[in-house]
């Protein structure tokens, strides 16, 4: 595999992994009245998919080709 493609996959994988972790940690929706927090919901499905894509991109970039 071309060295430039490996570098692009590595950078994209790191960005996807970081973004997936960020979206998992940050709260999505919150309803509050005064000092009372009523509902906090968070759907992490998209975060898990983004993290998995990042890990796959990093793994593919680290695989050695025929040389």
Question: What value does the mean pLDDT take over residues 2-15?
Answer: 93
pLDDT digits (tens, 9 = 90+) for 20-53: 999 888 866 666 676 666 666 778 889 999 999 9
Burial of 16: CB neighbours in 10 Å, binned 0-12, 13-18, 19+: buried
Residue 60 has pLDDT above 60, yes or no: yes
Query: Cα Rg for the chain, rounded, in angstroms?
Result: 18
């Amino acid at each position: 595999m071309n060295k430039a493609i490996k570098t692009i996959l590595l950078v994209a994988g790191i960005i996807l992994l970081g973004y997936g972790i960020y979206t998992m940690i940050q709260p999505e929706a919150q309803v509050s009245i005064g000092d009372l927090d009523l509902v906090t919901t968070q759907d992490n499905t998209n975060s898990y998919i983004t993290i998995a894509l990042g890990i796959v991109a990093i793994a593919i970039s680290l695989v050695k080709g025929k040389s």
